[in-house]
Amino acid sequence: MVMTDGTVLIDHEVKISLYGGIEMDLPQKSFSIRFAEGDLQTRLFDDSERTSFGSLLLRNSSSDAVDTHIRDCLTASLLGDCGTEILYTRSRNVALYINGQYWGLYQLEESLDTTWAAYTLGVDADSAAVLDASGRNTILGTSADKEAYAELIDHIKSCPPCESDDALSYLLERVDADAYIRFMAVWIFLGNSDQTTLRIARGADGRWQYVWTDSTWCMVNAAYDSAASCTDPKGMGSARVDDTVFLALLQVPGFREAFLTELGRLYRYLTSERMISFVDAAADEIRGEMMLHCVRWRNEDYSLFDPRTEGLDANGAYQYWLSRIERLRNTCRRRPAFVWSQIQAAFGLSDEELQRYFGDAPASWQDIIDDVP
């Protein structure tokens, strides 16, 4: 495995298995890898001091494989830059060779295993607990862990924390409320529409919080109304992912204030110009590798995921990639205007409140919103 600049990153014997959901249907497969001689001891990600890895993921970009190929790494960079302290899996671009054969561009990502839990959560293997977005399935942990989380959700529904100090104390003892607020603010701003990729982890203090693990549906549609989706009492997104904790926190005035303040901070910091600069840097990093990647996979059929790719040769696929990068840049130009408008509707903010939290409206915001493609 080498970096996109040719530097050898990992040259080890590994145990490899197929990985993923929808990405399994792509010609280029994603893999989970474990190291044959114990944990890998090296530093892999520039923004993390972690040096021990029991397993890693090699992802084919999933639904972004026929689009930009940069969303996972781009979003990890934005999360690291914007000052929001949340849990997220690190990601970097690599070129993969299997038994000496070039296998294309991949994203090397942290896997939610016990070594990740030890470093990130500060817990040992026996006490690690990570659940899927539904809270009903364990990624790490036992059935007792998901039962404890289910009990928490049931208690919140029967005893809303906004109604008594005891109910609020119960919630705050079991949920890292500040982390939830920070997570949902950046999730809504960046418009990640795949809530099924959320993970729920329990820290060393016994409190639950979200983990961001996937960005392939992030910033896909500038007009995506993530504010409305994430505050829907029926659940978030088309999968109706449970949002009981977030909705309960929003009923507590102090946490509602904290959420709107954090979202306003992100709105001011993650300007269109700033996000576009990160898009350009991410695209430049893989630009040279993309033509090699297109040559490697030019004879495979990706039309199931995007009919516009049918019949494209390597150069056509590369030119299509360039057009998708430009579309992402345009999404960054337009996204703040939609957030500014949608948050007012979702939270019933007056014009004065909107001004207080977010400041001035984006330039030409009404024209941007009216020009929905």
pLDDT band at 4 (very low <50, low <70, confident <90, very high): low
Paired tokens of 219 = 């910033």
Which of 40-44, 79-83, 266-270 has the lowest average pLDDT? 40-44
Which of 90-104, 232-246, 269-283 has the lowest average pLDDT? 90-104
Q: Mean pLDDT, to the nearest integer, of 211-215?
A: 97
pLDDT band at 304 (very low <50, low <70, confident <90, very high): low
CA distance 317 to 303: 12
Q: Answer yes or no: is pLDDT of 346 > 80.
A: yes
Burial of 189 by CB count in 10 Å (0-12 exposed, 13-18 middle, 19+ buried)?
buried
Q: How far is CA 335 from the centre of its chain?
A: 17
Q: Mean pLDDT, to the nearest integer, of 16-24?
A: 86
What pLDDT is recorded for position 349? 95
CA distance 10 to 25: 27
Q: In what order do the strands lie in the sheet with 199-202?
A: 87-88, 208-212, 199-202, 130-131, 138-140
Q: Mean pLDDT, to the nearest integer, of 66-84?
A: 95
CA distance 108 to 266: 27
> What is the per-residue pLDDT across 109-150, written as a single tens digit (0 to 9) for each?
999 999 999 999 999 988 999 999 999 999 999 999 999 999
What pLDDT is recorded for position 366? 64
Residue-averaged pLDDT of the chain = 91
CA distance 175 to 20: 29
Which has the closest alpha carbon to 6: 93, 131, 113?
Answer: 93
User: Where exactly are the structural domains of the chain?
Assistant: 2-114, 131-268
> What is the per-residue pLDDT across 55-74, written as a single tens digit (0 to 9) for each?
999 999 998 998 999 999 99
Which phi and psi angles does 133 have, rounded to 5°? -60, -30
CA distance 93 to 293: 12
What pLDDT is recorded for position 360? 84
